[in-house]
A = this chain, B = another copy of it.
Amino acid sequence: MKAQESKRQRRKAERPAELLEAALEVFAEKGFAAARMDEIAARAGVSKGTAYLYFESKEDLFRALVQDRMLLIFTPLEQAFETYEGSSRELLEMLLARFCIRVLGTKLAALPRLVIAEVGHFPELAEFYRRNVIDRGLGFLSRIIARGQARGEFRPGNPDHFARLFVAPVLLSAIWRACFDRFDDEPFDFAAFIETHRKILLSGLAPEPERGKQ
């Protein structure tokens, strides 16, 4: 009987994560409004009613999903590079590599599109995303770039703009994966594209005397 109970307990503990996982799938495929609770519950292997035991509403489920996954991405990134002491250029290169692995290669690539799509429907969520993800991420990158400028690694200019230039091709890739990859026989080669991005951007960011060394 204990075994059964603990099995139940384990099930109970896993339910929210299983539902979030299923929700990510379905939201990614259908968008918020078109996603049906029936299908999310079914993919999580439970009945519709059960989903409501863990999340108050479809909106609640959506919010929980976004917050959960976004923290999942940022926290380790920030922590890992908090104490970094090498060159800023290499820091950016490592971040780019990380991004490709942690986001573009997974279902998470669907999240930006999802948030973008539902801004109108979830202003509070958009604000949360703006504050906790974008501002946080761009701020993080800006500090790295400012550090590089101070060290003479990068040309002068608005660090926030540079940060956005750094992010833009990654965003484009995520959107491409989520939206348009399906129409090609072989998927777009993100790694090669991001590698090109790395070369061009770092070349463009280099201070005048050092340009051309990529």
Contacts and interface: CB of A to CB of B under 8 A. Distances in A.
Interface of A: 28-34, 113, 115-121, 123, 126-127, 130, 134, 157-158, 161-162, 164-165, 167-169, 171-172, 175, 178-180, 182-183, 192-193, 196-197, 199-205, 208-209, 211-212
A204 B197 CA distance: 10
A172 B164 contact: yes
Contacts of A204: 199-205
A113 to B, nearest CB: 6
Given A34-B121, A165-B197, 15 more contacts: A29-B120, A31-B120, A116-B117, A116-B175, A119-B178, A134-B180, A157-B196, A157-B199, A158-B196, A161-B192, A168-B168, A168-B171, A199-B204, A203-B203, A203-B211
29 contacts: A28-B120, A31-B31, A31-B32, A31-B33, A31-B121, A32-B33, A34-B120, A113-B117, A116-B117, A117-B117, A117-B118, A119-B179, A127-B183, A157-B200, A158-B192, A161-B193, A161-B197, A164-B193, A165-B169, A165-B197, A167-B172, A168-B172, A171-B175, A200-B204, A203-B203, A204-B204, A204-B205, A209-B212, A211-B211
Mostly helix, strand, loop or mixed at chain A's interface? helix
A116 B113 contact: yes
Nearest to A168: B168
A85 to B, nearest CB: 26
Closest 3 CB pairs of A and B: A204-B204, A117-B117, A33-B33
Contacts of A192: 158, 161
A102 B159 CA distance: 27
The residue in A32, A168, A169 that gathers the most chain B C-beta atoms within 10 A of its C-beta is: A168
A126 B30 CA distance: 13
Contacts of A119: 113, 178-180
A74 to B, nearest CB: 17
A171 B162 CA distance: 15
A4 to B, nearest CB: 16
